[in-house]
Amino acid sequence: MNDLDKLQIDAECQSEIKVSQDAQHQTVFKGSESESVLSDPAQIDAQQLIVKILEGLLPYIASHGGNVEFVALRETVVFIKFYGTCVQCPLSFYTVTYGIERHIKAQISWITRVEVVED
């Protein structure tokens, strides 16, 4: 069992989505403002749940010197952005596919994939 399997994701958490800061006090994760415009309540709930899932995975990603930001939810595709060491990491594909995407799909069955956006 790897570190991602050991994480306990609290999908029922009702706290507000907020901007958090890394150790250098740089804003690196935000979920309350996204570029997507969602009118379907199911998508709005899914967006909030995605943010919670990413918050739960953040300690693992940060332990490797990286960070992740929720960018958008468009139909069935989640868009994220990496920061720090994750940007150039040759293993980030595995983090996305076997970590982030797997956890999101386990909670939201209609999500088809997670894609990383770059500058």
- What are the distances in angstroms from CA 5 to CA 40, 43, 57, 66, 108? 31, 26, 10, 18, 17
- 68 domain-assigned: yes
- Which residue range forms the structural domain that includes residue 78? 39-114
81 domain-assigned: yes
In a domain, 83, yes or no: yes
Confirm whether 67 is domain-assigned.
yes
pLDDT for res 95: 94
Is residue 69, in this structure, part of any structural domain at all?
A: yes
Q: Which of 106, 118, 111 is nearest to 8 (CA)?
A: 106
Is 107 a domain residue?
yes
- Residue-wise pLDDT tens digits, 67-115: 999 999 999 999 999 999 999 999 999 999 999 999 999 999 999 999 9
pLDDT digits (tens, 9 = 90+) for 28-58: 333 433 333 344 667 778 899 999 999 999 9
- Domain presence at residue 95: yes
What pLDDT does 119 receive? Answer: 77
Give the per-residue pLDDT at 60: 93
Q: What is the pTM of this model?
A: 0.66
Does residue 65 form part of some domain?
yes
What CATH number has the domain bearing residue 87?
3.30.300.130
Question: Looking at the 3D structure of the chain, how many domains does it have?
Answer: 1
